[in-house]
Amino acid sequence: MAILEHRKGLIFSVMRCLCALLTVPVSAAVLIRRHLYRVGLIPVHSLRARVISIGNISMGGTGKTPAVLMVAKHLAARGERVVILTRGYGRTTSQRRILVGDQYHWKEVGDEARMLSRLLPTIPIVVGKNRVSGGRLAVEKFRPRFVILDDGLQYLRLARDVEMVIIDATYPFGNGRLFPGGILRENISALRRAHMFFVTKVDQAENVGDLLAFLQRTYPHAPVVQGTYQPSSLRDVRSHDQVSLKFLRGKPVVAMSGIGNHISFERSLEQIGARLAERVRLPDHHPYRREEVLATARLALKVGAQCVVTTQKDEVRLPDMEKLAIPLLSLGIQLQAVSGEEQLWDFLERGL
């Protein structure tokens, strides 16, 4: 685990050893599974649409969802019919759901799917563990030209035309070990399946040049796009009114997040000029309780903050808060390509 890599002491050393030992059978299972798909003992299914897989090799917040949002928006703006397939991680039901707009609670579809449906109200989102049958249903019902497979790198049952792998430049592969000994979902060799790399947070990484050189040298077949996350919107969670990003400039705020990468969100707040009076960090996909939000508001008043700011993904998991002693705002983030954008769209749209 990433949190164990930097802790000192006998207990953490023992835990690291145990996790490293557990990595051995996990690695063997992953390699066997990949081999079974490669030799055809487990079938791979195709869809009558151009499938774009967006995934990653590591655990945590590398930015898959902003990438899905960016690609879907671009294709829809060109008049293309698009459908998104997602598992709906964190939901409490197992039934397949089709979102077009705001009709489901996040617990039925997962927070990321709920957020995407709010930001992409005209694009169908099919939520279900079996993305082969979900994809077939989507093709039959919506006749899309493009199907975006969210978190698709490890979902080998579905054939794809483009495999885009998202890599966080600030912490690309951790210690190079599989979970639970590290942050990797698969061995580094899985990157050979990538058709394209999208390296994010290039503005925050110290050794981004080394990472780019490694990718270009080891996987010369796959173009590398570089990107950054930029604050894009701010809105009042209770009234839903849009607020200017300038509102936060120079103001002390409390950052409240339950996501995979708290630091990236907090840096975005500082980027637009907010001063972080306090940080409230909760586990990824955390289901907020009313008492927790009230406690955060009290903390904000205690430290002299003028508002509490959370993420768009957190916003969909917040309970209804009719009364709050301090403004509660939601910050929107968008992924922007800063290098290789033309090549990105040409690659994704090839065959138009």
Q: What is the pLDDT of residue 1?
A: 45
Average pLDDT over every residue of 10-35: 79
For the chain, what percent of residues have pLDDT higher than 70? 95
DSSP letter string over 58-101? BSS-S-HHHHHHHHHHHHHHTT--EEEEE--TT-S--S-EEESS
Q: Domain span at residue 125? A: 50-222
216 pLDDT more than 90:
yes
Structure letter (DSSP) for residue 205: -
pLDDT at 92: 87
Res 156 pLDDT > 90: yes
Its pTM stands at 0.92
What's the whole-number mean pLDDT along residues 222-239? 95
Q: Exposure of 233 by Cβ count < 10 A (0-12 exposed, 13-18 middle, 19+ buried)?
A: middle
Closest CA relative to residue 268, chosen from 203, 335, 333: 333
For the segment 164-200, what is each residue's pLDDT rounded down to a tens digit?
Answer: 999 999 999 988 888 888 889 999 999 999 999 999 9
**221, pLDDT greater than 90:** yes
Name the domain count of the chain.
Answer: 2
pLDDT score for 28? 86
**Cis geometry, peptide bond prior to residue 223 (ω within 30 degrees of 0):** no
Residues 203 and 304 in one domain: no
Kindly state the percentage of the chain with pLDDT values over 90.
77
Residue 352: inside a domain: no
Residue 281's CATH number: 3.40.50
Q: Is residue 212 part of a domain?
A: yes
Do residues 92 and 107 make contact, with C-beta atoms less than 8 angstroms apart?
yes
Determine the Cα–Cα distance for residues 12 and 308; give it in Å rounded to an integer: 34
Of the candidates 105, 140, 134, 62, which has an alpha carbon nearest to the alpha carbon of residue 148?
134
For 51-67, write each residue's pLDDT tens digit: 999 999 998 767 899 99
Whether 217 and 275 share a structural domain: no
Same domain, yes or no, for 218 and 236? no
Backbone phi, psi, residue 313, to 5°: -70, -40
Quick one: pLDDT band at residue 4, thresholds 50, 70, 90?
Answer: very low
